[in-house]
Amino acid sequence: MLEVKDLHVTVEDKAILKGLNLTVQPGEVHAIMGPNGAGKSTLSAVIAGKDGYEVTQGSILFEGQDVLEMEIEERARAGLLLGFQYPIEIPGVKNIYLLKAALNAAREARGEGEIPAPEFMKLVREKSAEMQMDPSFLQRAVNEGFSGGEKKRNEILQMLVLQPKLAMLDEIDSGLDIDAMKVVAKGVNSLRSADRAILLVTHYQRLLNHIEPDRVHVLVDGRIVKSGDKSLALELEARGYDWVLEESVA
């Protein structure tokens, strides 16, 4: 589904990713872990198409399409969705309005018509209940005045409504207390399905107690230096990152 090959990325002439390889199949949950500054967030930002990242080498294919040739919105409509570490506030724009515009944009790209209003309302109510969000959140301006936990739940709500093929969640656990994390994890787990993949970018193992990954990758200094199953995450938790680094240098 997603194939990242020999990806080199620079930000303001500084090399961040230096030959990253990653393959994700439908149905899989991958966790990208690593120390601060290793390039974890860069990976998901580049896949989503954020400005300021220059790909100097390598390729990203999503279902056979060259992602780097696609506009930001085309990537999203194709089913590549990024959940933000720091969701953005948009004053005056209702949350529900953004959701509807995003959903209809994706439907239009698939050649479907706009979603009928009653169907949309039903869908959104159902999904917000799943995220334990009061319906009043839908009428508030996007992320404006939301607490950290509310913003993260809102990101997952968008995923539940938009049903991406590949959900990339950037540090979705940062700033969450344990209860909020459980709600977020429950939402993410409900996204799991045989035809959908999830890419979790996280610093801590904690999240992976709630969302069990199929594959864990350790990203250090712009490369994936070690991959394994969920037990790797536990090992990282116990021993830190230094040993992986030493092993990879050796």
Partner 1 sequence: MASEEMEQLVRREYKQGFVTDIESETVPPGLDESVIAFISQKKGEPEWMLEWRLEAYRQWLKMTPPSWAHLDYPPIDYQAISYFSAPKKPEDRPQSLDEVDPKLLETYEKLGIPLHERAALAGVAVDAVFDSVSVTTTFKEKLFEAGVIFCSISEAIRDYPELVRQYLGTVVPRSDNYFAALNSAVFTDGSFVYVPEGVTCPMELSTYFRINAANTGQFERTLIVCDNKAQVSYLEGCTAPQRDENQLHAAVVELVALEDAYIKYSTVQNWYPGDEEGKGGIYNFVTKRGDCRGDRSRISWTQVETGSAITWKYPSCMLRGKESIGEFYSVAVTNGRQQADTGTKMIHIGEGTRSTIVAKGIAAGRSDQSYRGLVKIGPRAKGARNYTQCDSLLIGDQCGAHTFPYQEIGNSSATVEHEATTSKIADDQLFYCRARGIDEEDAVSMIVNGFCKDVFQELPMEFAVEAEALLNVTLEGSVG
Per CB under 8 A, the list member of 55, 68, 141, 234 interacting with partner 1 is: 141
> CB pairs under 8 A, 24+ apart, for 41-44?
41/85, 41/170, 41/171, 41/201, 42/9, 42/11, 42/16, 42/17, 43/4, 43/7, 43/17, 43/201, 43/219, 44/82, 44/168, 44/170, 44/199, 44/201
Q: Rounded to the nearest whole angstrom, what is the least distance from the CB of residue 104 to partner 1 in the complex?
A: 9
Cβ-based nearer residue to partner 1, 91 or 118? 91
Residue in 214, 205, 221, 201 with CA at minimum distance from that of residue 44: 201
Cβ-based nearer residue to partner 1, 92 or 231? 92
Q: Rounded to the nearest whole angstrom, what is the least distance from the CB of residue 59 to partner 1 in the complex?
A: 20
- Footprint (CB under 8 A) of partner 1, residues 108-127: 109
Per CB under 8 A, the list member of 12, 51, 177, 246 interacting with partner 1 is: 51
Residue in 86, 84, 90, 83 with CA at minimum distance from that of residue 140: 90
> Is 129 a binder of partner 1 (CB under 8 A)?
no
> Is 88 a binder of partner 1 (CB under 8 A)?
yes
Per CB under 8 A, the list member of 55, 68, 70, 93 interacting with partner 1 is: 93
In terms of Cβ atoms closer than 10 Å to its own Cβ (0-12, 13-18, 19+), residue 129 is exposed
Residues near partner 1 (CB under 8 A): 48-51, 71-73, 75-77, 81-82, 84, 87-93, 97-98, 101-102, 105-106, 109, 141, 158, 162
